Amino acid sequence: MSLIVEKYGGTSVGSIERINAVAEKVSKSHHQGNQMVVVVSAMSGETNRLLDMAKEINPGMPARETDVLVSTGEQVTIALLCMALMRIGHKAKSYTGGQVRIETDGSYGRARIRSIDDSRIKKDLDKGKIIVVAGFQGVDNKGNITTLGRGGSDTSAVALAAALKADECRIYTDVDGVYTADPRIVPEARRMDMVTFEEMLELSSQGAKVLQIRSVEFAGKYKVPLRVLSSFEDGPGTLISYEVDRKMERAVIAGIAHNADEAKLTITGVPDHPGIAHAILGSIAEKMINVDMIIQNIAADETTDFTFTVPRTDYENALAILNKVSVELGARGVTGDNNIAKISVVGVGMRSHTGVADLMFATLAEEGINIKMISTSEIKVSVVIDDKYTELAVRALHKAFKLGEKK
Amino acid sequence: MSLIVEKYGGTSVGSIERINAVAEKVSKSHHQGNQMVVVVSAMSGETNRLLDMAKEINPGMPARETDVLVSTGEQVTIALLCMALMRIGHKAKSYTGGQVRIETDGSYGRARIRSIDDSRIKKDLDKGKIIVVAGFQGVDNKGNITTLGRGGSDTSAVALAAALKADECRIYTDVDGVYTADPRIVPEARRMDMVTFEEMLELSSQGAKVLQIRSVEFAGKYKVPLRVLSSFEDGPGTLISYEVDRKMERAVIAGIAHNADEAKLTITGVPDHPGIAHAILGSIAEKMINVDMIIQNIAADETTDFTFTVPRTDYENALAILNKVSVELGARGVTGDNNIAKISVVGVGMRSHTGVADLMFATLAEEGINIKMISTSEIKVSVVIDDKYTELAVRALHKAFKLGEKK
């Protein structure tokens, strides 16, 4: 008998009809002889409905009370899904995060899971019950309700799978797996049967928003076998694998990711001496602005140009900070661009193959697309381009790397 | 410094605007130097919205999951009210029933409170915080969420006031106090400044639906000073008192209650021997039908007539049962009437005054209203009449007992 953790997001449980459909899916897995733990989000729209009331009553949105408020969303879903399961003849029991008990730190709105008590759930599983757990939520060591932040239900599912030593953790979403590129841009994009953990990590962080990057990291830490599937249609989905011995036929490149949510800033002619990077980025980090790509080049005149990217929503803030820093450092000036896109080719095969970066650059050059920044890691090459070329670049690269062809 | 428990029902917190108004009311009490504990219900309509979803998904409404579901209603309100209080400068903290911890038995949907841990709330009160507690809910000794049943928020408030030894428990409703009669029927009905616990108990159970009878019983048990006020307008409301030494000016009669939700059944010509009452009512009780008034008269022929009242919704059921019992007992027959109303005059002064029943009967006779049943207790006289005379009877009695006159 296998133990399976399944997670259904907000759109998957967005109506009574959808909840009944989820119950049927869970029932099927249970009838196949599996012990089932189901993690659910709030019905789609519910969290925003609650947050809108909170904003109206107190725009300051006090953190502790916001968590008390929004955690009711998942609590509604667990009760309704249990009722649906019982109606079709199953024994089912709901657990809030606190009832499990999923203990977190005390950071309201973005709590991190510290420990999970699996004893009560295991006892109920052994009695043949289907367990339905509220995702996204926990309690701190004083019993205060906490939430894990947006997408936290994925993390709840993976963490429960790790604690229960589940045989598989299935994340049901509105797409049927991980694709070689965004199918809305590239019609011939192909669903991958399997993707490595490292590839998934890069694809997630590069903007392929199938899974929250935090849940992928969590899965990697505990080697939880993770599968992404559609809750709307049947299919095998995409398995995220930790295998080292890969099939020889494995493609060099797994997929293309794109992200148009960033902006780039450059401070030019900075007198080059130790501590410059910290002087520049320290003031950005202080304001809690995340920095993604960082590039530094030394010019002939012993000054340096320093470029980095930030979330586009933080562009104006970062620009203001940088202008101040520029004066302090005696730099030449500051330039910025918030019409950029980052395009990445990702694949573990890259480690042993040369020429990936070269093919990428050649392809973009052929299309007349100028590259503004380049950054590489062991399993990806990222470039920053003008964002109006996003679709063109993704399509051309998908074709050049032959990702649409059946492997 | 006094400790006050205030309770606001669903209509009092039915919108963002209303929640802000409640926050202002609570703030005022706090600024008067009181420690404040506030108990709230779900926003009006919310509980029914949740129950409708449950009914659609599983008409069987599994009890445990129904409580998990509906308890979210109060959880939303406590968070929003805390946010409103914080916005106007207060320190506030919400507690679910489980967080307090309000421990109940395991009867989902109609749980009874077993114990309340006051330690955490007291600590927070001493830090100057306003405490907002979810009414209507608790947890059993295994941590399962339970609810106290309709009107349970009143019971939560009274129980918390008892546990915290509060100086006063204020129940805010949509009326501004307890009246000498229903003001919708009797325009000259007068709000009472004070009513005794026993009178309140009779008025509640007779249909003056200001407070749930369970919460009044609970208050009486722990001698919690209870006050009923309006959440929509300022005013002193009505104090429910436990004083034995009453003002001499106290009226004989406190008020008139009426109840048109009952039906009456009679089994005639029952051979009179011991055990008859049990033979008749046992089969009614078995079906969980509540019996209110019971009257038995012995006729000349050594048979007896036995009459009782049941909730009108149980009339058809009770009639069917009684027809069966009648045959078994060899009785003459069964009659019933579901167009009745019960009218009661209530007052502790009655104990030492004769003539109350007589004035009541005379008044009804003058109006040509026939009395079908009579039942008395130490502090009330109840009669059953044709329900079409309800308003006429209440108005006539209110006038006859001079209840509209300022005392």
pLDDT tens-digit map of A79-88: 999 999 999 9
B54 touches chain A (CB under 8 A): yes
For position B140, what pLDDT does the model report? 97
Residue A154 pLDDT > 60, yes or no? yes
Tell me if A320 sits within 8 A of A311, measured CB to CB: no
Residue of B nearest to A47 (CA): B76
Quickly state the pLDDT bin for B120 (edges 50, 70, 90).
very high
Nearest to B57 among A20, A58, A98 (CB): A20
Asked if residue A72 belongs to a domain, the reply is yes
Q: Is the pLDDT of residue B336 over 70?
A: yes
Distance of CA A340 to CAs A360, A373, A386, A387, Å?
Answer: 18, 10, 5, 4
Which residues of chain A make contact with B57, given a CB cutoff of 8 A? Answer: 16, 19-20, 80, 83-84, 87
pLDDT at B42: 96
- Dihedral of CA atoms A131, A132, A136, A142 in degrees, nearest 10, equals -60
At residue B84 the predicted structure's pLDDT band, cuts being 50, 70 and 90, is very high
Tokens of A150: 């947006």
Show contacts of B114-119: CB within 8 Å, 24+ apart.
B116/B159, B116/B160, B116/B162, B116/B163, B118/B163, B118/B164
Report if residue B162 sits inside a domain: yes
Contacts of A298 (CB under 8 A, 6+ apart): A272, A304
| Nearest residue in chain A measured CA to CA from B23 | A57
A164 and chain B in contact, CB less than 8 A: no
Spatial distance between the Cα atoms of B360 and B382, rounded to a whole number of angstroms: 9
Q: Is the ipTM of this complex over 0.90?
A: no
Q: Which domain holds residue A66?
A: 3-174
pLDDT at B398 over 70: yes
All residues of chain B having their beta carbon less than 8 Å from the beta carbon of residue A87 are 57-58, 60
pLDDT band at B149 (very low <50, low <70, confident <90, very high): confident
CB–CB of A75 and B83 under 8 A?
no
Nearest to B19 among A57, A82, A92 (CB): A57
Predicted confidence at residue B88, as pLDDT, reads: 97
- A146: helix, strand or coil: strand
Mean pLDDT over B235-258 rounds to 76
How many domains are contained in chain B?
1
As a whole-number percent, the residues of chain A with pLDDT over 70 amount to 94
Please indicate if any CB of chain A lies within 8 Å of the CB of B82.
yes
Q: How far does the CA of residue A298 sit from the closest CA of chain B (Å)? A: 52
Q: Inspect the interface and report whether the beta carbons of A83 and B68 lie closer than 8 Å.
A: no
Kindly state whether B63 is in contact with chain A, defined as any CB-CB distance less than 8 angstroms: no
Residue B158, in any domain of the structure: yes
**Position A225: which residue type?**
P
- A54 and chain B: CB distance < 8 Å anywhere? yes
Interchain CB distance below 8 Å, B57 and A86: no
Cβ-defined contact of A50 to B143 (cutoff 8 Å): no
Interior angle at CA A229, CA A225 and CA A235, nearest 5: 110
pLDDT at A205 over 90: no
Taking the Cβ of residue B83 and every Cβ of chain A, the question of whether any pair is shorter than 8 Å is answered with yes
The Cα–Cα gap between A340 and A352 comes to 30
B79 to chain A, any CB pair closer than 8 A? The answer is yes
Element (H, E) at B94: strand B92-95
Question: Does residue B55 register a pLDDT over 90?
Answer: yes
We report the CATH number of the domain holding residue A102 as: 3.40.1160.10
CB spacing of A86 vs B143 below 8 angstroms: no
Q: Which of A62, A68, A84 sits opposite B86 (nearest CB)?
A: A62
The 10s digit of each residue's pLDDT in A333-372 is 999 999 999 999 998 877 766 788 889 999 999 999 999 8
Give which of A13, A17, A80 to mutate to test B binding, by max B Cβ within 10 Å: A80
Inter-residue contact A101 to A39 (CB < 8 Å): no
**Span B353-394, pLDDT tens digits:** 678 888 999 999 999 999 988 888 888 899 999 999 999 999
Q: Give contacts of A 292-311 with B, CB under 8 A.
A: none
Answer yes or no: is pLDDT of B248 > 50: no
**A90 lies in some domain:** yes
One-letter amino acid for residue A53 of the chain = M
Q: Check residue A34 and give its pLDDT.
A: 97
Helix (H) / strand (E) element for A220: namely helix A213-222
Interatomic CA distance for residues A117 and B184, integer angstroms: 57
Average per-residue pLDDT in chain B?
Answer: 90
Higher pLDDT, B85 or B291: B85
Give A144→chain B minimum CA distance, Å. Answer: 8
CA distance B96 to chain A (A): 9
**Least confident residue range of A160-174, B17-31, B107-121, B243-257:** B243-257
Least CB–CB distance from B94: residue in A20, A65, A93: A65
CA proximity to B97, closest of B126, B80, B121, B81: B121
pLDDT at A170: 96
Residues A176, A177, A182, A187, CA torsion sign: negative
Peptide bond into B150 cis (omega under 30): no
| Sheet with strand B333-337: strands edge to edge | B294-298, B303-311, B262-271, B333-337
Provide the residue type at A262 as one letter: E
Q: Which residues contact B248 (CB under 8 A, 6 or more apart)?
A: none
Q: Which residues of A touch B66 (CB under 8 A)?
A: 79, 83
Rounded to an integer, the average pLDDT of B91-109 is 96
Query: Would the pLDDT of B48 be above 70?
Result: yes
Position A63 in a domain: yes
Strands (E), A168-298: 168-173, 194-196, 226-230, 238-241, 255-259, 262-271, 294-298
What's the whole-model pTM score? Answer: 0.81
**B289 lies in a domain?**
no
Query: Which residue from B minimizes the CA distance to A76?
Result: B69
Burial class (CB in 10 A: 0-12, 13-18, 19+), A330: exposed
Most confident of the ranges B49-58, B234-243, B276-285 = B49-58
Ordered DSSP codes for A71-118: HHHHHHHHHHHHHHHHHTT--EEEE-HHHHTEEE-S-TTS--EEEE--
Taking CB atoms and an 8 Å cut-off, how many pairs form between chains A and B?
Answer: 112
d(CA B131, CA B192): 30
Give the strands of the sheet with B380-386, arranged side by side.
B255-259, B340-346, B380-386, B373-377
pLDDT at residue B208 greater than cutoff 70: no
pLDDT score of B206: 64
- Work out the pLDDT band at B299, boundaries 50, 70, 90: low
Across the interface, whether the CB atoms of B57 and A82 are under 8 A apart is answered no
Has residue B368 been placed in a domain? no
pLDDT-derived band at B249 (thresholds 50, 70, 90) equals very low
**Residue B270 or residue A244, greater confidence:** B270
Give the C-alpha separation, B182 to A149, whole Å: 51
Cβ pair A172, A229 in contact under 8 A: yes
Contact A164, A37 (CB under 8 A): yes
How many Cα atoms are found within 13 Å in the side-chain-facing hemisphere of A57? 33
Which residues 8-27 of chain A have a CB within 8 Å of chain B? 16, 19-20
Q: Do B86 and A76 touch (CB under 8 A)?
A: no
Q: Do A87 and B19 touch (CB under 8 A)?
A: no
A344 vs A301, more confident:
A344
Q: Is residue A225 part of a domain?
A: no
